[in-house]
């Protein structure tokens, strides 16, 4: 059985984590492209009148190439995944860390964020569609100086742990190299 046949056999739930610029997004996009034809990229980043960020977004769009439907959704990941309006085979969500940032910037308290993560975990685990989730591993650096930075780090680490429980596969990417942690 080929990787493509195996990937399509059951809905695959995969978490790809790594540091900034580790190659995690490229790895996730490549894996999805090699294994699926009908794919949706769910972008959680909101453009905020930032020319440099707009350029990064354009480069990401260009690097994905053709064959991707892009959905921009900064907060309601559960809604996008549950609707699956196109009937796609797979969603690539990039990234959970930005999703967490968006919730924090909207003033969500920890309890509300944890509730949203629980909803996402429940949706991902029950979904009949494959999902690849990309997230930053933020716990490998120094302890942040500010309370907000420590809150972010703690919530990001907790979110990654919750998602790892419901995913069949977890891959850590460092220096562009994937290391399978689970599955």
Give the CATH number of the domain where residue 27 resides: 3.40.50.300
Q: What mean pLDDT comes out for the span 33-59?
A: 85
- Orientation of helix 24-35 relative to helix 51-64, angle to 10°: 30
User: How many angstroms separate the Cα of 136 from the Cα of each of 10, 22, 45, 101, 160?
Assistant: 26, 9, 13, 12, 8
Residues with a known catalytic role: 60
pLDDT at 6: 47
Question: What pLDDT shows up at residue 9?
Answer: 63
Total structural domains in the chain?
1
State how far the alpha carbon of 142 is from the alpha carbons of 114, 146, 149, 150, in Å: 24, 12, 11, 10
Q: Average of pLDDT values for 157-181? A: 97
What is the reported pLDDT for 1? 44
For residues 117-138, give the mean pLDDT.
96
Range of 21's domain? 3-182
Of the listed ranges 5-9, 72-76, 153-157, the one predicted with least confidence: 5-9
Beta 169-174 vs 177-182: how paired, if at all?
A: antiparallel
pLDDT at position 48 is 75
Asked if residue 53 has pLDDT above 90, the reply is: no
């Amino acid at each position: 059985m080929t990787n493509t046949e195996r990937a399509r056999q059951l809905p695959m739930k995969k978490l790809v984590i790594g540091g900034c610029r580790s190659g995690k997004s490229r790895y996730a996009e490549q894996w999805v492209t090699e294994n699926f034809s009908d794919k949706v990229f769910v972008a959680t980043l909101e453009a905020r009148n930032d020319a440099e960020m707009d350029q990064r977004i354009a480069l990401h769009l260009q690097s994905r190439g053709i064959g991707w439907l892009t959905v921009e959704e900064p907060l309601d990941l559960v809604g996008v995944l549950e609707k699956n309006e196109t009937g796609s085979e797979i969603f690539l969500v990039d990234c959970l860390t930005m999703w967490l940032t968006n919730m924090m910037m909207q003033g969500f308290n920890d309890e509300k964020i944890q509730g949203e993560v629980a909803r996402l975990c429940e949706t991902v685990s029950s979904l009949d569609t494959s999902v690849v989730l990309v997230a930053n591993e933020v716990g490998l650096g120094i302890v942040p100086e500010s309370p907000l930075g420590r809150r972010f780090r703690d919530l990001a680490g907790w979110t990654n742990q919750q998602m790892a429980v419901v995913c069949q596969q977890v891959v850590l990417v460092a220096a562009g190299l994937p290391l399978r942690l689970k599955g």
